[in-house]
Chain A
Amino acid sequence: MQMIRDNNWVLSVGTFLPIVGVLLLLVTPKANDAAIKAVALLTSIATVLVGVFTLVNFDFDQAGSMQFVAQTNWIPVIKSTYFIGVDGISLPLYLLSMVVTLLVVIYSLDHVPSPGNPKAFFVLMLLLQTGMAGTFIAQDLILFFVFFELVLLPMYFMIGVWGGEQRQYASLKFFLYTMFGSALMLVAFLALFFKTGAESFAIPYLVENGAGIAKNAQVWIFAGMFIGFAVKVPMFPFHTWLPDAHTQAPTQGSVILAAILLKLGTYGFVRIAIPTLPDAAIEWAPWIGGLAVIGIIYGAFGCLAQTDMKRLIAFSSVAHMGFVMLGISTLTSFGVNAAVFGMVAHGLITGMLFFIAGSVKERYHTLEIAKLGGMLTQAPRLGWILGLCSMASLGLPGLAGFWGEFPAILSAYNPADGLNVTVFRSYMVVAAIGTVFAAAYLLWLYQRTAFGTPKGHDHHDLHDVNTHEWIAWLPLLIAIVTFGVAPNLLFSIIDPAVQGTLSAFGG
């Protein structure tokens, strides 16, 4: 894969600009609320501008190859380098992380959750931003790992300090789960490193030489990575941190978690695990697919059982990431395209849903579905937005969700060579049934919250969507519709990159 090294400073700037913001924030006096918010806002805007610059200068004709590549010595002793670059897979997620952070910052301007302390809150948020963006551009396993881990602590504190009643339990659970995964992942990375001749941690290098590893070893190494990434996704047996984390996290936390953090795992599969270890991937694919469809149905059941709006949305993430993983498990470029698209779509939609949940909580002071109702009469705009997002989330054609879901199901009909067709076709049917459940729980939610007449308690403070919320939400809503109508905007970027990634499987 050839590298394009034109203005290779862009990525570094875009990634570490938030750190500058952090330093500025540290010197801003804690009392000066306005200044703090201004700094945070400006930083994230600047970051997004750099992102736009990246987008503009991105050579779409060569979306398949790494661009803005920068590579310098970092830890020569262990042959790890500071090696970054974006291709068609990274770019959408990279930009998504920037945009979402900006929107979250905007939303936070007047929604700093208790116990306040915006300074610390924004510092953590910007740290998160660096970690997330870095993970998507890292082309060196060690660098990837560092960024991957960098995300942990800020999120831990965001949940633990600004979260709900169970926050401490939830945050610790989130942390231990993820750390467990990444510890084994690190071991797997090292094993990969040594099995490929201890030459380099650079992903392209490993992709070239990984296939040479004995199949047996590959399977074990993949196991390590699998646990690391599957926890993050999260896939079926490793998912239980997600509902707690989501439910307890402050709105901003949930949004970032849903929109970006979950993608780190799936991205890891697409970028690292599968290309570097093709034989193991073939071995593992049926299991991944199986867990994925279990996750789809299981998540749906989880949703149906919920009485709490936010928790329901959280469980729906399990189901949706199931679709993504199903697409990945087919090891066909068609399926992986769907998966990458699904990541972005899920990021937009579920992020949006969590925004709404936050605003609902703020207005009704509860997320008990039973206590909600008649939102359309009290806050019609909020209600309609919720409707739109539910529809998008249940995969309605013409909205972004569909293009992650339908092609993923489609792709399961004929997976890559070497995979058992019958198994995957049965997966396909189960997944298709999963879409019905999706419709069931989302519409059920919508019917119970938005329709009907408002429940008794007075909502004197009940106002419809306000300016900050509009500013923070509109981009997401527009994106949901745009990508739904013109999916090629994404697919044309993703496709070539994925083709390259899956060259080991004949595309």
Chain B
Amino acid sequence: MILAASEILSPLRDGWFLQHAWLTPVIPTVGFVLIVLFGKRMPKKGSEIGVLSLLASLVLASGAAWQWIQRVGDAGEEQFVSPVVRTWTWWQSGGVEFTIGQHVDGLTVVVLFVVAFISTLVQVYSLEYLRGDRRYTHFFAALTLFSAGMLAMVVAEDMILFLLGWEIMGLCSFMLIGHWWEDGANSRAALKAFFTVRTGDVGLLVGISVLFFAANEWTTTHLGLSGFSIRGVSAWALSGEPNSTVILVAAIALFVAAIGKSGQFPLHTWLPDAMAGPTPVSSLLHSSTMVVAGVFLVARLYPVFFTGLDILGPSSNVIMVIAAITIVIAAALAFVQSDIKRVLAYSTVSQLGYMMLGLGAGAWLPAVFHIFTHAFFKACLFLCAGSVSHSASHHSFDMKEDMGGLRKHMPVTFAAWTVSTLALCGVFPFSGFFSKDEIIDNVGGNGYTFFMVVGLGGAFLTAAYMTRATYLTFFGAARGAAAGVHEVHDAHAGAHDVHDTHAGAHEADDAHAGPHESGILITAPIAILAVLAIFSGLFNATPFGESWEYMKKWVEPRAVVVASESHSGGPGEAFVVSVPSAESGHSESPCGKETPPEGVCYAPQVSHATFKWSKALISLAVVFAGIVLSWVLSAALYGRRDPRLVGLTQRNGLARAGYRLLANKYYLDDLYERGVVGSITGPLARGAYWFNQRILDGILHGVAGISRAVAQVVYRDIDQRLVDGAVNASADVTKAAGTTVQPIQSGRVGHYGALLFATAAVAALVFVILNT
């Protein structure tokens, strides 16, 4: 039912920070310019500019978040909390006006805060981590611009600005991943990353175009917005106007972009290679920025996907399928990695899978919440890995070769790592539990049981491989560099940070002081993140009841019909005219997929599964099972293997006698190797890995190779031979013609005369005949 406009509710408060949220991307951009111009001459080589600019945006973001919370607080329980929108005309062409501006709502402030926060920490961390690097300044410039890009994308009011931020991130990832480009592998990885993402961007371009032309007319007439504006498109998507195929095409196209950016199957292959970049970059890329952009795109334009892909519909949709595949494949891949960063990379892919799964299953809030928590603990994990390689393993990331037993040497790192791991595994009461379990729960709650099972399986695998990684890194005997052994690992140069000057700088102290805890600039960010990894879950602790569901209160847009004439006062001040119950199921609300009688929906009606401890305990049990099993196996497999005996059994025959005795434990090993572990990891993981390297990568490289081959053919045969050949041929023909008619010019008077008269006679004959 629609209420009379007389019952206007009090206008919502919006403070300075909300009004000026657009500054958050602007400041780092300015910072970037400053670094590029003056960085080299600054005392700290421009790093300070980067840190300060991001600190500033962090302040702004926090302020915005705080004021948003107040704004929501002011709003009535079921009032539509309109986003704080400000737009400026950027350019107009052919009657189309392109605006640029900010669109601040719950989602924006959350991600804004996360990005600013993590970027700041990462910059601080990099101060130490990259000290003495050859391109210290360039690094900070790129890092700052990178954050700016992400922030711009987050506050974007329309798709053009969104695209801008999106592409800038792509560019910076290219620069950052290829930071140590002297090494061919790194530059190749950078190229691969950019190219893969760019492939996805075709989807974004097409999607934006389709949306624009499909929606523009409706949005201009109903809301006075262009077809680029995000809320315009959202409203249009929910208005029941759109022709189902058009919006389906748009949704698919945009999702392709998301796949490329968020490393979803099958475009995930660039992510592990991207580990070639410096660790801070990896942590920034994989926690809060780059890869999250894809998820953010889906969350931001949720109504489009909601309608286009018929989310919450009876059948499972493409998002969920892709997400499910990604979760399993990536998790399995994590098992066969010996490079700690690659383990984390694959875990990121699978966690992104969770987010996508949540979005695909209509669990919008949990997905967004998972973005939130995941950012903290994943960033923490990466930074720990960096810390390890920085101070303990002599810039190696090889768990099997260069780590082990580091818990004694680096307590802080170890503690942080453990906490974050537990969070990632989703152990109660760490943050991961609240978000991940919520996703699984809701997926089930919305009736997609199969995907819920997949989610649980994913949780199990996650727990397992993280435990393995933990054991290899911090427990057991120290190996390789961790044990003070120094050889330059050119063998896995691709995976290592071989930044010579840097390495040179640390050669000295590494030499005498073996593994040790990293400096404060590294440990402090880690510690902070660890703390958040523990507690950030409480922002939406469903288990503790409604009162704890802050996120739901602050972030989730309320699915209510807004009077359509509201755009007169700018879409900001909307009247709430209808109060549907948002409790069980989605179909009661007019903001489902069916047209609201009149008025506009800005967000679809989604459901929330009610939390039950029983369900939670199941998933917890799965997780613990994973941890324990993996622990036992790892300990036996990597821990108790004794190198001397292995050597001996091959060495002399006498020892071979006592071999059987000693062998037993190795029977165990073999059993584990071939049996249990093998059965879990071996076929599945290796198969998946093989599939990954051969098929997917193969396809990627194949495509590259083919197109290059085609190019060769097109160029050499078609262009040079055919097209060009034709031209040159015509010239030759003309010349040849000269030679053929040459006999005319025999030089003999007789011939000339004959020719003369013959022509005259023939002509005369012809014309005489013609004229009589």
Contact = CB atoms under 8 A, between A and B. Distances in A.
Contact of A439 (B163, B194, B715): B194
A414 B210 CA distance: 10
Contact of B719 (A177, A240, A304): A240
Interface string A333-346: 11111100000000
B94 A429 contact: no
A391 B171 contact: yes
B227 to A, nearest CB: 10
Interface string A414-437: 100000000000001100110111
B535 interface: no
Nearest to B186: A451
A443 B195 contact: yes
A440 B707 contact: yes
A436 B723 contact: no
Tell me what chain B mostly uses at the interface: helix, strand, loop, or mixed. helix
B168 interface: yes
B206 interface: yes
Interface in A301-334: 301-306, 332-334
Contacts of B202: 429, 432-433, 435-436
B529 to A, nearest CB: 31
Interface in A439-457: 439-440, 443-444, 447, 450-453
Contacts of A498: 94
Contacts of A332: 94
A146 to B, nearest CB: 26
Contacts of A298: 714, 719
Contacts of B44: none
A76 interface: no
B95 A334 contact: yes
B771 interface: no
B186 to A, nearest CB: 8
Interface residues of B, number: 50
Nearest to A484: B164
B199 A397 contact: no
Contact of B92 (A377, A436, A492, A507): A492
Interface in B692-715: 704, 707-708, 710-712, 714-715
B359 to A, nearest CB: 25
B691 interface: no
Interface residues of A, number: 63
Nearest to A441: B711
Interface string B87-103: 00111111110000000
Contact of B178 (A173, A300, A451, A486): A451
Contacts of A453: 182
B724 interface: yes
B486 interface: no
Given A410-B212, A452-B187, A377 B94 contact: no
A496 B706 CA distance: 45
A376 B181 contact: yes
Nearest to B184: A452
A239 B727 CA distance: 11
A301 B212 CA distance: 30
Interface in A152-200: 173, 176-177
Nearest to B180: A451
Given A304-B708, A306-B715, A447-B187, A333 B91 contact: no
Nearest to A453: B182
Interface of B: 89-96, 160, 163-164, 167-168, 171, 174, 178, 181-182, 184, 187-188, 190-191, 194-195, 198-199, 201-202, 205-206, 208-210, 212-213, 704, 707-708, 710-712, 714-716, 719, 723-724, 727, 731
Given A410-B208, A432-B206, A452-B182, 18 more contacts: A176-B731, A240-B723, A298-B714, A301-B707, A302-B714, A303-B711, A305-B712, A333-B94, A334-B94, A334-B95, A396-B167, A396-B171, A413-B210, A432-B202, A435-B198, A451-B182, A487-B90, A488-B90
